[in-house]
């Protein structure tokens, strides 16, 4: 027993257990993506072996505390770390076994004291004389797991009744087969409710319960809508009034009084208070078969059960699933009456909420929600309580250990869906664990006896010892400069005029108001992948000049090759050889669109079935359509519709643009004297004046348009002129493109100087001054980088890390911050961070990442999110620096020999210590950021952990780097090669979290990161293979040179 405990308490066991946990979590995310969430829960998250793994970790952590005597002030940080993880696991256990969650649906003006749980249950009820039998068990099913189970029901009158699993059909669709042996008559209905439209099949003799409504066919039931066969037709009656609506006119035509009998035909919709029923058809001698359909066809699943009564077996299908309330359906098998349901339980609350009003606010002129809220009254008769509350995103209602969160709403916007969570103790135990963990991290950075401070001292001692040799590494980088065209001699419109036009406000598709300059650069970049043009006959032009010229001379631009085409296969279809095509190139001599058949086929395919050609066709087709919309002016939504309640803005080609302008705006025409005084006429006049060269008149019209924009009801919410100037400066400066080039150039020079400095045994003033000068430029670049992020924050009014592009900018910023922190230990470190910043911004400039300024989804408007994302993303910079230092150390190892190994070992050891310090800081930030994400999730929708792919991989990062930092406790792994090898491999978890989950794993909640799924580029494969080669060669070289290793 002692030896077992000794093994279980060892560091080796810790690493093995953490490694198994990381592999299990990673596997679960791929299972979820391949199959579904339920499959991942069954096989991993909800399994007993997964819980046992956490139990072993608790035992291991307790053993560590005892074995390494952590209950003293010198090892306080270690005690806090281990204790916090134990408490967090216990908190998760409380949540799993003692809490529950679900949804509450309330219609406007109504009250509710029920919630629907989130865990599906199989529920079986049966009455046998005076006795009642009830069976209830939480069950998850998957099409790829062994779902077998059986239930035995004792019955005095029927003997033993057995209910056994037969099959589980995902996204079940009912398929009718007519004229089959043993078939029966079946009616097919369509039911309309506030949740949508459902197809329903009811067999003769059956009663179906749908949305609380009983429907029977040839089975008289006092509580049902009864449909019966009658003289070749159908009759209908109900225990309440039915209202007939004509299917053509959609108006109430007649009323079928309670309990009266009427014809049931396809001509009418039969309406109740909450639903409408329409007869589709009647199937004769038919059977219904459950088959698996596509997710868009059906969201509900079917559980097929074999019910055996007195040796007679019958297969029944029970509709339900994880996202549905358990709908108890009556079944009769060989005389036995059973009620069976599969779905989430209804849970009664000891109080109720009344929805007084549901409020949905949208971005002006857009259908995109800006925010939504529920005005509710909390009614608790126990405490004679009647309070009004407002629930909205990131603002919860807490009462009696229940928490209510704004989750969703009905399609008609007259009902709300609230997430409900009852996990008071589990949440606060977990939060206490988070607090201890944060405290431990703070102490480890300031405790004089901590590993972090020890590493700092070791680096200082190594710096004094080393007299290093040099490793020559050649970097070849092409550094481009940016600039803007100044030549306007042959342009139709001058830069001055185009700049004035760019100051007009325009409403984008998502409702954001921005300068036309911003939209123009976004559009031109989408069409041409560039911002500046050189056009024969017109010279050099910027994006704004091109836009205006397209509006003035559309025929000319139809012939210009400005539409970007990358793939040769698509060029062959168009009939071009260059990488740019004109609009005219896409049409044959009969004016047929050449891409049409290929685009139709590509769009019909599922995304997973689209090949490279299909995806390029879709992209090019999009560019062609955008070009056409630019030519027509459809993007220029610069005119506010008069008296529009939605604050809608339109372009001059909109049909509303020909509506005569009224009211105070009529005074404008006293000056302009237009024959058609409408928006279309005003803008046409502006273009005509520009074309004729009458600049003064064009400027006057432009001022009138600007005045019209500023006279709207939302004028106060529009950007001020100074803010417009700032945004145009931001667009023209192209800050992050400039910084990408700056960081690339500085990284090469800094690396070169840093290695030369390492080679020198004596300080060289010129070398020092040169390095300091370059470092000063990098500091200025960092400040400019910070300014750029600040400008994005100012312009969008939300933190600049809400999508993939902004996150990469923040990672680049964080990596530079790490470099400045550690530059006092090693100049190579700063040079490496400049290189990392360059590569990160280069990735951000890739077309898959969208740099445009956009509005924010309601759920992302949270200060918890700002802290969570910032902390987590900045950690990637520190971990990325450790990754690059690992590669540099591997390269140095390759160049080691028996003559220089002593000098190079000192460099390797110094960089390894710096790398470990980076990992410690990165792990601190990653861990805090991950658990702050739990706090954000809990404050936003009531669940601090849900095993979403993103949060799971964020946890894998934490586990991976905990393993890396603990490898030194195993003697065989306590060397520089293993540490640097693991720091390189560990960074793959960061890449998977940031790129893999965001763009390749499709079943996560984190779907708001802007940008399309990119093809995995060839250069990335080359880079990965190169890094693997370097690690393998370095490992072989280390083995060969092992006899020369420093034994000190």
Helix (H) or strand (E) holding 323: strand 312-325
Do residues 227 and 208 make contact, with C-beta atoms less than 8 angstroms apart? Answer: no
Gap between the Cα atoms of 550 and 491, Å rounded: 12
Q: What are phi and psi of 356, to 5 degrees?
A: -80, -40
Helix (H) or strand (E) holding 349: strand 336-362
Q: What are phi and psi of 341, to 5 degrees?
A: -140, 150
Do residues 684 and 666 make contact, with C-beta atoms less than 8 angstroms apart? Answer: no
CB count in 10 Å sphere of residue 446: 10
What the block records as the tokens of 496 is: 């001055």
pTM score: 0.67
Gap between the Cα atoms of 33 and 949, Å rounded: 9
Span between the terminal Cα atoms of the chain, in Å: 38
Gap between the Cα atoms of 476 and 916, Å rounded: 29
DSSP assignment letter at 618? H
Gap between the Cα atoms of 510 and 276, Å rounded: 35
**Nearest partner of 995 among 878, 876, 833, judged by Cα:** 876
Q: What is the mean pLDDT of each run of 10 residues along the chain (1048 residues)?
A: 78 93 95 89 94 95 87 83 93 92 93 94 89 90 90 86 93 87 90 79 87 86 89 91 82 87 91 90 90 78 92 90 87 89 94 94 56 91 94 86 88 88 91 89 76 75 53 28 35 82 85 86 87 86 92 92 91 93 92 88 64 84 88 89 83 89 87 89 91 90 91 80 88 88 88 74 79 92 93 81 73 83 78 80 61 48 60 80 91 85 84 89 86 76 77 93 93 93 95 78 47 63 92 91 58
Burial degree of 633 (CB within 10 A; 0-12, 13-18, 19+): buried
**Nearest partner of 23 among 46, 48, 53, judged by Cα:** 53
Q: What angle do CA 971, 877, 931 make, to 5 degrees?
A: 80
Residue 341 pairs in a beta bridge with: 123
Do residues 86 and 62 make contact, with C-beta atoms less than 8 angstroms apart? Answer: yes
Burial degree of 1041 (CB within 10 A; 0-12, 13-18, 19+): middle
Query: What contacts 598, CB < 8 A, 6 or more positions away?
Result: 573, 613, 614, 617
Do residues 240 and 272 make contact, with C-beta atoms less than 8 angstroms apart? Answer: yes
| 174 three-state secondary structure | strand
What the block records as the tokens of 201 is: 């099949």
pLDDT of residue 488: 37
**Residues 721-740 as b or e (16 or more Cβ within 10 Å = b):** eeebebbbebbbbbbbbbbb
DSSP string, 400-469: TTEEEEEEEE-TTSSEEEEEEEE-HHHHHHHHHHHHHHHHHHHHHHH-TTSHHHHHHHHHHHHHHH----
Helix (H) or strand (E) holding 163: strand 159-169
CB count in 10 Å sphere of residue 481: 8
Gap between the Cα atoms of 461 and 465, Å rounded: 7
DSSP assignment letter at 633? T
Do residues 959 and 982 make contact, with C-beta atoms less than 8 angstroms apart? Answer: no
pLDDT of residue 607: 52
What residue has token string 């004094």? 464
């Amino acid at each position: 027993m002692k030896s077992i405990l000794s093994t279980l308490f060892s560091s080796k066991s810790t690493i093995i257990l953490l490694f198994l946990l990381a592999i299990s979590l990673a596997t679960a995310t791929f299972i979820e993506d391949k199959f579904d969430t339920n499959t991942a829960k069954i096989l991993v998250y909800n399994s007993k072996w997964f819980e046992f793994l956490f139990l072993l970790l608790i035992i291991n952590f307790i053993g560590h505390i005892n074995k390494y005597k952590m209950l003293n002030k010198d090892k306080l940080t270690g005690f806090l770390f281990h204790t916090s993880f134990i408490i967090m696991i216990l908190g998760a256990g409380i949540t799993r076994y003692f809490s529950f969650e679900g949804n509450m649906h309330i219609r406007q003006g109504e009250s509710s004291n029920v919630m629907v749980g989130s865990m599906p249950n199989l529920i079986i009820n049966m009455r046998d004389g005076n006795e009642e039998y009830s069976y209830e068990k939480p069950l998850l099913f998957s099409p790829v797991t062994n779902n077998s189970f059986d239930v035995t029901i004792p019955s005095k009158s029927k003997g033993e009744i057995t209910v056994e699993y037969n099959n589980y059909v995902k996204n079940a669709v009912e398929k009718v087969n007519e004229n089959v042996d043993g078939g029966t008559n079946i009616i097919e209905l369509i039911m309309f409710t506030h949740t949508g439209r459902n197809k329903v099949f009811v067999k003769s003799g059956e009663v179906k319960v749908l949305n609380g409504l009983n429907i029977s066919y040839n089975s008289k039931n006092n509580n049902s809508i009864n449909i019966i066969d009658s003289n070749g037709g159908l009759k209908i009656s109900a225990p309440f009034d039915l209202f007939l609506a004509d299917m053509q006119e959609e108006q109430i035509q007649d009323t079928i009084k309670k309990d009266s009998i009427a014809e049931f035909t396809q001509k009418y919709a039969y309406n109740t208070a909450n639903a409408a029923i329409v007869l589709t058809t009647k199937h004769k001698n038919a059977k219904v078969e459950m088959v698996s359909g596509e997710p868009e066809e059906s969201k509900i699943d079917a559980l097929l059960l074999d019910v055996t009564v007195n040796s007679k077996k019958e297969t029944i299908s029970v509709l339900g699933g994880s996202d549905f309330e358990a709908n108890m359906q009556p079944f009769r098998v060989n005389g036995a009456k059973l009620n069976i349901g599969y779905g989430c339980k209804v849970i009664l609350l000891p109080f109720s909420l009344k929805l007084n009003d549901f409020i949905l606010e949208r971005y002006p002129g857009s259908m995109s929600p800006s925010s939504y809220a529920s005005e509710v009254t909390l009614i608790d008769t126990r405490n004679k309580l009647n309070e009004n509350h407002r629930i909205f995103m990131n603002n919860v209602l807490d009462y009696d250990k229940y928490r209510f969160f704004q989750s969703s709403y009905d399609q008609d916007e007259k009902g709300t869906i609230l997430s409900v969570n009852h996990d008071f103790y589990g949440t606060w135990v977990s939060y206490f664990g988070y607090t201890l963990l944060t405290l431990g991290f703070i102490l480890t950075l300031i405790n004089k006896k901590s590993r972090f401070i020890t590493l700092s001292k070791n680096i200082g001692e190594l710096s004094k010892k080393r007299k290093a040799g040099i490793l020559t590494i050649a970097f070849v980088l092409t550094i481009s400069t940016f600039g803007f065209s100044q030549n306007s001699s042959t342009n139709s419109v001058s830069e001055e005029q185009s700049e004035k036009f760019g100051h007009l406000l325009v409403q984008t598709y998502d409702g954001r108001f921005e300068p036309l300059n911003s939209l123009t650069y976004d559009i031109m970049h989408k069409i041409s992948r560039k911002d500046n043009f050189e056009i024969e006959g017109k010279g050099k032009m910027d994006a704004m000049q091109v836009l205006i010229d397209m509006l003035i001379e559309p025929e000319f631009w139809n012939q210009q090759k400005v539409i970007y085409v990358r793939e040769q296969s698509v060029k062959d279809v168009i009939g071009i050889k260059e990488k740019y095509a004109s609009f005219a190139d896409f049409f044959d001599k009969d004016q047929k669109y050449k891409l049409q058949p290929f685009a139709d086929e590509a769009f019909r395919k599922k995304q997973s079935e689209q090949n490279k050609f299909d995806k390029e066709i879709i992209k090019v087709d999009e560019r062609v359509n955008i070009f056409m919309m630019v030519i027509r002016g459809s993007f220029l939504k610069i005119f506010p519709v008069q008296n529009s309640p939605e604050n809608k803005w339109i372009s001059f080609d909109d049909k509303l643009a020909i509506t005569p302008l009224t009211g105070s705006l009529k005074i404008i025409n006293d000056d302009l004297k237009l024959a058609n005084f409408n928006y279309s006429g005003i803008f046409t006049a502006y273009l005509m004046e520009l074309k004729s060269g009458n600049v003064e008149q064009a400027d006057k019209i432009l001022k009138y348009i600007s005045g019209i924009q500023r006279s709207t009801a939302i004028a106060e919410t529009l950007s001020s002129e100074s803010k417009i100037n700032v945004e145009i400066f931001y667009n023209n400066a192209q800050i992050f493109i400039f910084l990408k080039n700056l960081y690339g150039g500085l990284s090469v020079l800094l690396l070169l100087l840093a290695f030369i400095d390492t080679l020198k045994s004596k300080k060289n003033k010129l070398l020092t001054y040169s390095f300091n000068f370059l470092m000063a430029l990098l500091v200025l670049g960092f400040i400019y980088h910070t300014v750029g992020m600040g400008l994005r924050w100012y312009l969008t009014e939300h933190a600049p890390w809400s999508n993939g592009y902004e996150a990469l900018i923040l990672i680049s910023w964080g990596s530079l911050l790490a470099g400045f922190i550690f530059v006092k230990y090693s100049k190579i470190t700063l040079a490496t961070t400049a290189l990392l910043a360059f590569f990160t911004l280069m990735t951000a400039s890739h077309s898959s990442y969208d740099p445009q300024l956009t509005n924010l989804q309601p759920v992302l408007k949270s200060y918890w999110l700002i802290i969570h994302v910032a902390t987590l993303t900045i950690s990637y910079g520190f971990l990325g620096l450790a990754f690059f230092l690992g590669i540099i150390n591997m390269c140095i190892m390759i160049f080691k020999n028996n003559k220089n190994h002593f000098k190079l070992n000192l460099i390797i050891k110094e960089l390894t210590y710096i790398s470990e310090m980076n990992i410690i800081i990165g792990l601190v930030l990653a861990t805090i950021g991950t658990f702050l994400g739990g706090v954000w999730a809990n404050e936003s929708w009531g669940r601090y952990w849900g095993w979403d792919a993103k949060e799971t991989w964020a946890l894998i990062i934490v586990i991976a780097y905990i393993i890396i930092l603990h490898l030194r406790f195993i003697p065989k792994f306590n060397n520089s090669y293993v540490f640097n090898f693991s720091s390189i491999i560990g960074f793959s978890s960061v890449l998977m979290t940031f790129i893999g989950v965001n763009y390749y794993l499709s079943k996560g909640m984190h779907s708001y990161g802007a940008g399309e799924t990119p093809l995995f580029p060839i250069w990335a494969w080359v880079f990965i293979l190169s890094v693997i080669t370097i690690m393998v060669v370095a490992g072989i070289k280390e083995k060969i040179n092992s006899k020369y290793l420093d034994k000190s």
